[in-house]
Amino acid sequence: MKSIIITFCLFFLIACDTGNISVKIDTEKTQEPISEYIYGQFIEHLGRCIYDGIWAEMIEDRKFYYPVKDDYNPWATDDDPYWKAGEYLYLAASPWKVIGSPGTVIMDTLNPFVGKHTPVIHLPGDGTTAGIAQESIAITEGNNYTGRIILAGDKSALPVIVQLVMENGDILSWEIGSITPEYHACSLEFTAPSTDKNVQIQIISKGKGQFRIGIISLMPADNISGWRKNVVALMKELNAPVYRWPGGNFVSGYDWKDGIGNRDQRPPRKNPAWKGVEHNDVGIHEYMELMQLLGSEPFVAVNTGLGTVDEVAEQVEYCNSTADSPMGTLRAQNGHPEPYGVKWWAVGNEMYGSWQLGHMPLEEYVKKHNSVARAMWNIDPTIKLIGVGEVGEWSETMLRICSDNMSLISEHIYCQELEDVSGHTRQLARQIKYKADAHRKYRDEIEELKGKDIRIAMDEWNYWYGDYLYGELGVRYHHKDGLGVAIGLHEYFRNSDIYFMANYAQTVNVIGCIKTTKTDAGFATTALPLILYHKHFGTVPIEITGRSKDIDIAAALTRDGKALTVAIVNPNETTRNVSLDFGETQVNEEGAKWIIHHPDPEAYNEPGKTPNVKIVEENIEFTGNSLEILPYSIVMYRFELNE
């Protein structure tokens, strides 16, 4: 009777004392290797992700999508009640202010340089200054800047001056020495004498007659093919193997041909799905250059919303066909004779949603998917196609009717905030497991999937809550969100047989793991586990027994089988002690440890400031004693295996 009581008490203590946890890691029981594509990213033409994020352009509305008016009121406010976002500003009218009397600026709609209209500056001819100006340009002392302006007009309008007026009254000027009735470009260059976040750029004249402004551009001189150097550096450190682009909801109203050809003459459009303007400065060529800079693979989403089968087929031909094809010839004329060879293609985005442009009933969409997919494979049968999925009737029907016309199927998850920190951190993992379980059931029940291995591409996943502090959808992330991303990665690892790809949304500013100001950039807390796991975690998951619901543990062997990695997430407010039992496996006592820790789960990082949350690396000696896992921490260990 005494031994029974002891056994019961021992069981009770193990079950209830969450401060001491023992787990067994059996290196002989492995799972399918983790796909590198789990560490993918997603960028969309939305908010400050591309423009005012990764792209280096400093001028707002440089092609004058909005008419320049005497009534200057460029910014509007909106909120997002569904995602519980507070009010945020977005550009709703021209950011250009008229210098001069009313009527000085007239928009020419008959012969515009680009888009629907071009500003014409009418000079009074009495020696007073007239033109346009834009505020809030940010410059950094000692940095060089370069740009261009395309002008046309009367010789009597000379000299046309482009100048930067700083808050302290200093002025940097460029004098345009020649002008003709035909448009021509003039280069702009300067070095910032001081740091100023509210510089005004002016385009003015005291002459007679009129002059026209086709476009103006200004970038830091250290831009890399038009991309911000400091943001590219962070993206390289993120080291994502693949980037999904250009959307998202955006793609269902996007005409890819708007983004090719002479950048200055690509038409600006209203963003079809979101606020603001799509400048079309970034298109296929710029995106492919970014992928080359980052060493990442492209993953192009095509328009199955308002787009047609022929338009999508032409896009594949433009990217992947030789220069002797019609679209290949056009690509060569635009500066890239060799095919890009894009392998990954998303056939549409969230077409199950009523919010999606071109949304249609499921029974109609499956027909469109099959038509589009066949047309794409007819152009290039080697490409991989990802169909639109959403667990439930939509995914089931897509897999039943379209399984012959897809390589992978997408799913998306977004989670909002929970008050309980531990519960908040587990949301992503729960959804990842839920979708994996659903797709395993589909494999068992859907006859059309027999003999096929259509895995999931979770090509959008993240937390989404809070105020839009970094432009539209530009939420702030906290340490607790980084903990949740780490636990989410663990769930991908546990389901490595069903998940082939995941694309964290949306890299920069827009629910992204990199945040920027006009001059600075830095990692949000959610970037840290993505960097840590991709760089140091193993690739062959190992079975763990004795797992606790109180913490989350994942283990994996390195690809060469010479080292073991163990990652532990403690989302609780108190320390946990974890004992690791490796069974017959012998590990070297000397190892490495990485930790992401902060005592406050609400801690966050800001661009341009010393980060509050960071990755700290140290060497350790493992003697078989229990490991102390600090509150609110992600800890990763690496042990070399003894032969």
pLDDT tens by residue, 306-360: 999 999 999 999 999 999 999 999 999 999 999 999 999 999 999 999 999 999 9
Task: Yes or no: say if 486 and 571 are a contact pair by the CB < 8 Å rule.
Answer: no
Q: What is the topology classification, in CATH, of domain 18-30+542-641?
A: Immunoglobulin-like (2.60.40)
pLDDT (tens digit per residue) in 505-531: 999 999 999 999 999 999 999 999 999
Between 2.60.120.260, 3.40.1280.10, 2.30.29.30, 3.10.450.230, what CATH number should domain 75-220 receive?
A: 2.60.120.260
> Side-chain half-sphere of 387: how many Cα atoms within 13 Å?
32
The CA distance from 443 to 256, in Å, is 35
- Of residues 452, 441, 432, the one with CA closest to residue 494: 432
Helices 479-494 and 427-445, packing angle to 10 deg: 20
pLDDT band at 84 (very low <50, low <70, confident <90, very high): confident
pLDDT (tens digit per residue) in 426-435: 999 999 999 9
Domain 36-56+223-537 CATH superfamily: Glycosidases (3.20.20.80)
- Of residues 318, 299, 294, 295, the one with CA closest to residue 245: 299
Answer whether residue 4 shows pLDDT above 60.
no
Task: Yes or no: say if 302 and 372 are a contact pair by the CB < 8 Å rule.
Answer: yes
Start-end ranges of CATH 2.60.120.260 in the chain? 75-220
Catalytic sites, residue numbers: 350, 460
- Residues in Cβ contact with 618 at an 8 Å cutoff, skipping those fewer than 6 apart: 592, 593, 595
- Integer CA distances (angstroms), 411 to 69, 164, 365, 500, 510, in order: 45, 48, 16, 12, 19
pLDDT band at 5 (very low <50, low <70, confident <90, very high): very low
Instruction: Give a three-class secondary structure readout of 277-291.
Output: EECCCCCHHHHHHHH
Residue 624: what pLDDT? 73
pLDDT (tens digit per residue) in 182-222: 999 999 999 999 999 999 999 999 999 999 999 999 999 99
The DSSP result for 448-477, as a single string, is GGTT---EEEEEEEEE--S-BBTBTT-B--
Start-end ranges of CATH 2.60.40.1180 in the chain? 18-30+542-641
Start-end ranges of CATH 3.20.20.80 in the chain? 36-56+223-537
Number of neighbouring beta carbons within 10 Å of residue 561:
12
pLDDT (tens digit per residue) in 383-397: 999 999 999 999 999
Residue 239: what pLDDT? 98
